[in-house]
Amino acid sequence: MQIDAIQRTLMFVVCITALAVSNAHAQKQTQEPVLRVVKRPDIAPAALPGPPHPLDPALKLAFNALGRMQNNVHDYTATLVKRERIDGRLGREEHMFVKIRNRKPNGTPLSIYMNFTYPEDVAGREVIWVENRNSNKLVAHDTGLLTGAIRVNLDPDGFMAMRGNKYPIYDAGLENLGVKLIEKAQRDREVGMCEVRFVKSVVDGRNCTMIEVKHPEKKEPYDFHIAKVHIDNELRIPIRYAAYSWPRRPGGNPVLEEEYTYKNVKLNVKLSDEDFNPDNPGYKFP
């Protein structure tokens, strides 16, 4: 093991120890952590309010996709490929196998399992989060000689859980992606005009319809210059999203801010509580 790898491992252990002390103190102050949950919009309205807008066809398609997920998709597995810019720096691409069970009105909680497969230094990391379980903390273990032998419970909004991540774990998943797309489109529809186009595309060998939304002018409240959403034509759900900020110089290229692609999506595979149990013998939690 190289010296810098040892230093990173020791730093992780120190941070975990400090976090455990901090969590113990915080538990004396409050019983449950504050958790931000994405709001679920209503299913597609019969008619969108106000005058026609270029975003109307995209919004209707997004509402239909979200309605399908809420009504017909109970759970799924996929390979999530993500890349995010954090604090101005574009991170490396990360791959993870995910199991996700959607929140349902019958009391089924949003449940997420992640197993990192790439890059090599994080391969084998596992994370589980179940809504309203374990005091809303995620359960994780890292890789390595020392960190691989430690199981930790982390506040999903805390420093350790958010390290290297733009969003907390409970924002993951196709349904949450659909919700956020609708929120952004409704906001943009209210504040002004934008350019919208529909293009045929292929994502991981699957035929899709790509919706591109462009804000030519940089102004509030726009948080992206160009957003591209790829809707799987067969599954009728979004499987890729990428957002770009404005060029840094006149005539320059848009700057990638974030991208998420769900590959090999398998719907309704009948996941159970055991799939979100860190003591599952098929997992490697210590």
State how far the Cα of 41 lies from the Cα of 184, in Å rounded to an integer: 12
Return mean pLDDT, the chain: 85
Element counts in the chain: helices (H) and strands (E): 4, 12
Least confident of 45-49, 193-197, 231-235, 255-259: 45-49
State how far the Cα of 128 lies from the Cα of 35, in Å rounded to an integer: 16
Is 259 in contact with 243 (CB distance < 8 Å)?
yes
pLDDT at 195 over 90: yes
Instruction: Supply the pLDDT for residue 181.
Output: 92
Mind listing the pLDDT tens digit for each residue in 87-122? 999 999 999 999 999 999 999 999 999 999 999 999
Instruction: Supply the pLDDT for residue 18.
Output: 38
Is 112 in contact with 97 (CB distance < 8 Å)?
no
State how far the Cα of 209 lies from the Cα of 203, in Å rounded to an integer: 10
For tokens 């805390």, what's the residue?
A: 158
3-state secondary structure of 209: strand
Domains of the chain: 55-276 (2.50.20.10)
Instruction: Supply the pLDDT for residue 101.
Output: 98
Instruction: Supply the pLDDT for residue 47.
Output: 61
State how far the Cα of 240 lies from the Cα of 209, in Å rounded to an integer: 11
Residue 54 pLDDT grade (very low, low, confident, very high; cuts 50, 70, 90): very high
State how far the Cα of 178 lies from the Cα of 238, in Å rounded to an integer: 7
pLDDT at 24 over 70: no
CB count within 10 Å of CB 200 equals: 9
Instruction: Supply the pLDDT for residue 192.
Output: 85
Using a pLDDT cut of 70, give the percent of the chain over it: 82
Least confident of 109-123, 138-152, 202-216, 228-242: 138-152
Instruction: Supply the pLDDT for residue 30.
Output: 35
Please list, in sequence order, all residues whose beta carbon lies within 8 angstroms of the beta carbon of residue 86, skipping any fewer than 6 positions away. 164, 165, 166
Mind listing the pLDDT tens digit for each residue in 149-191? 789 999 999 999 999 999 999 999 999 999 999 999 999 998 8
Instruction: Supply the pLDDT for residue 193.
Output: 87
Instruction: Supply the pLDDT for residue 255.
Output: 97
State how far the Cα of 157 lies from the Cα of 155, in Å rounded to an integer: 5
What is the Cα 190 distance to its own chain's centre? 25
State how far the Cα of 8 lies from the Cα of 14, in Å rounded to an integer: 10
pLDDT at 10 over 70: no
Is 41 in contact with 66 (CB distance < 8 Å)?
yes
pLDDT at 246 over 80: yes
3-state secondary structure of 3: helix
Least confident of 20-24, 255-259, 272-276: 20-24
Mind listing the pLDDT tens digit for each residue in 125-139? 999 999 999 999 999
